Structure 1
Amino acid sequence: MTAVPNALDDPSATRIAAAETEAVFLPGHGMLGISLRHQGIEYLRRNEELTIFAENNRTAGIPFLFPWANRLAGFQYEVAGRGVTLSAHSSVLRYDENGLPMHGMMWPHLAWSIVEAKADSLIASLDWSHPRCLVVFPYPCRLTMTATVEPASLTIETELAATSDIPVPVSFGFHPYLGLPDVPRQEWHVHMPPMRHLVLDDRKIPTGRAEPFGGLDAPLGTRDFDDGFALLGDKATLSVAADGHRIAVDLLEGYPYTQVYAPHDKDYLAFEPMTAPANALTSGDGLRLVPPGDTFRAKFRFRIG
């Protein structure tokens, strides 16, 4: 393990590298990915004001969104016979512009333990059993994340093991903020495969309906995205490229949904791997349960160049 300086002074900060590709994670702060560089070029965004983002429960870099990705439609949900009422003013949660709980328990409040650190890989775990965690998501489990760098790629594999006598609902995801160097956002060329476009209401909550989406292979221009999609198969690749630079997100296993986020006035976009659609804990749509003693696995990869 190589210690690296960072704005949050996290002593667990770890750099992993292979050839000209390197990544940095903060196990002590939610296993947040704060850097992904290839040939000296940084491809992550929202990674420069981490102290401010931590103080305000804002997402940054590559955040792990647990126990739910994106929004819930309200403050109550019930799964596997357990009902939950979330606080509307919690210091460990984030809320969207409508006051809805968003992205689960935020990364500054979750300290992972390093299991193994090598030059090109990092394994960390989180035991979801603390009362503060169970108030938000009363399903004991153990999370294990493995980040592996190879030349021009970073793969992140997540395992969720159900550690008690009740099943664990699966609705986590990631929100990587990606950007390309020295090219205006309007000139970024986006590729998205054919998928099913999830119809959202005015709060950006899925209505349960979906429409065909024929894919996209065009400049981003002034397009705005904050859209949910369901994959047509088990795997998919979404990418952005410009001026000889390209970064792709490969959804390899366990991610049948994705959210695409690209506000027109920001120099970043996100292709978000999601194990379930937004609001799945409330709606039950696309929600899977991990039986007691079993393990769920999901994997995605960044490819650069």
Structure 2
Amino acid sequence: MTAVLNPLDDPTTTRIVAGDTEAVFVPGHGMLGISLRHKGLEYLRRIDDLKTYAAMNQTAGIPFLFPWANRLGGLQYEIEDRGVTLSGHSPTLRYDGNGLPMHGLMWPHLAWSIETTAPDSLTAQYDWSHPKGLVIFPYPCRLTMTATVAPGNLTIETALAPTGDIGVPVSFGFHPYLGLPDVPRQDWQVTLPEMRHLTLDKRMIPTGGSEPFPGLDAALGDRAFDDGFALLGDSATLSVAAGGNRISVDLLEGYPYTQVYAPHDKDFLAFEPMTAPTNALISGEGLRLVPPGETFSAKFRFKVD
């Protein structure tokens, strides 16, 4: 195991390697993934100015989104008879243009502890028991994340286990920023499977409706995406390819929803694994509850060709 320096100057920064594939994570800053290289080519984006992103509570690289992924439709929710009222101006949260809280407690404020390391893997844990976390999500739990590389692959497994006497709602996700080297965005070939396309309101919150999505295999061109989808089965693969390079996100276990994000003026896109749809803590749609004594696990994989 070789530790590498990064602009965050975090001593927990860890590099894992297998053959011609390597990844770098920063457990002390939210278990953030800040590099995924294959044959010397970097496939992550928004890793160029991590200090600024941290100071502004912005997502970067491969961020873990907890306790909710994407937006909430308001500042209040109630689950298991525990009501929560979020602040509209917390320094540890991020808000969209409508003032809606996004992506939970942001990665710069989550210091994970390294549990085990190997040349090709890293396991870290976070105990959700601190008041700064419980005030926005009053469900004590232990999070365990393992990142493992193999030639051409990076697999991320996440487990959630309640540590109190109350069940824990599951609505976490990831927001990996991906890009292809040396090829203009408009020439990226995007392949999406058949899914259900979630209907969103003007605030980008699901209305509860959906419609068939036949899949896609086309150049990105001038398309822009910020769309939520429900998988038709237990797993799915979303990919982007160009210039002889391809990176896919395989949703393997525990992620029945995904968000596809590709702003038209940026050279990145995101295939986002989500355990529940946007706003599930408020709507209850697709929300699972992990009882005390049980563990919820989810897994996804990057594959680089």
TM-score, normalised by the number of residues in structure 1: 1.00
Aligned length: 305
Q: Which residue of 1 aligns with 2:278?
A: 278
Is 2:78 aligned against 1:115?
no
Which one-letter code corresponds to 1:115 in the other structure?
E
Q: Which residue of 1 aligns with 2:40?
A: 40
CA distance in 2, matches of 1:302, 1:234: 17
- CA drift at 1:180: 0.1
Contact 1:164–1:293 (Cα < 8 Å) also in 2? no
Q: For residues 241-284 of structure 1, what are the alpha-carbon distances to aligned partners after superposition, in whole Å with 9 as ceiling and x for unaligned? A: 00100000000000000000000000000000000000000000
CA distance in 2, matches of 1:175, 1:183: 22
Contact 1:24–1:36 (Cα < 8 Å) also in 2? yes
Q: Which residue of 2 aligns with 1:301?
A: 301
Which one-letter code corresponds to 2:38 in the other structure?
H
CA distance in 2, matches of 1:18, 1:117: 13
Q: Which residue of 2 aligns with 1:202?
A: 202
CA distance in 2, matches of 1:142, 1:49: 30
Q: Which residue of 2 aligns with 1:106?
A: 106
For residue 53 of structure 2, give the secondary structure of its aligned residue in structure 1.
helix
Q: For residues 129-188 of structure 1, what are the alpha-carbon distances to aligned partners after superposition, in whole Å with 9 as ceiling and x for unaligned? A: 001110010000000000000000000000000111100000000000000000000000
Q: Which residue of 2 aligns with 1:2?
A: 2
Contact 1:80–1:167 (Cα < 8 Å) also in 2? yes
Gaps of 5+ in 2: none
Q: For residues 41-69 of structure 1, what are the alpha-carbon distances to aligned partners after superposition, in whole Å with 9 as ceiling and x for unaligned? A: 00000001000000000000000000000
Q: Which residue of 1 aligns with 2:291?
A: 291
Contact 1:29–1:112 (Cα < 8 Å) also in 2? yes
Is 2:30 aligned against 1:30?
yes
Q: Which residue of 1 aligns with 2:161?
A: 161
CA distance in 2, matches of 1:168, 1:81: 12
Q: Which residue of 1 aligns with 2:253?
A: 253
Identity %: 76
Q: Which residue of 2 aligns with 1:192?
A: 192
Q: Which residue of 2 aligns with 1:71?
A: 71
- CA drift at 1:2: 1.7
**Runs (4+) off by over 6 Å:** none
For residue 217 of structure 2, give the secondary structure of its aligned residue in structure 1.
strand
Q: Which residue of 1 aligns with 2:240?
A: 240
Which one-letter code corresponds to 2:234 in the other structure?
D
CA distance in 2, matches of 1:172, 1:104: 9
Q: For residues 190-235 of structure 1, what are the alpha-carbon distances to aligned partners after superposition, in whole Å with 9 as ceiling and x for unaligned? A: 0000000000000000000000000000000000100000000000
Q: Which residue of 2 aligns with 1:221?
A: 221
CA distance in 2, matches of 1:2, 1:293: 36
Q: Which residue of 2 aligns with 1:180?
A: 180
CA distance in 2, matches of 1:57, 1:171: 20
- CA drift at 1:3: 1.4
Q: Which residue of 2 aligns with 1:124?
A: 124
CA distance in 2, matches of 1:252, 1:145: 15
CA distance in 2, matches of 1:44, 1:154: 12
Q: Which residue of 1 aligns with 2:51?
A: 51
For residue 197 of structure 1, give the secondary structure of its aligned residue in structure 2.
strand
CA distance in 2, matches of 1:231, 1:256: 5
For residue 229 of structure 2, give the secondary structure of its aligned residue in structure 1.
strand
For residue 28 of structure 2, give the secondary structure of its aligned residue in structure 1.
helix
Gaps of 5+ in 1: none
CA distance in 2, matches of 1:88, 1:247: 37
- CA drift at 1:97: 1.2
Q: Which residue of 2 aligns with 1:141?
A: 141
Which one-letter code corresponds to 1:255 in the other structure?
Y
For residue 104 of structure 2, give the secondary structure of its aligned residue in structure 1.
strand
Q: CA RMSD in A?
A: 0.4
Q: Which residue of 2 aligns with 1:61?
A: 61
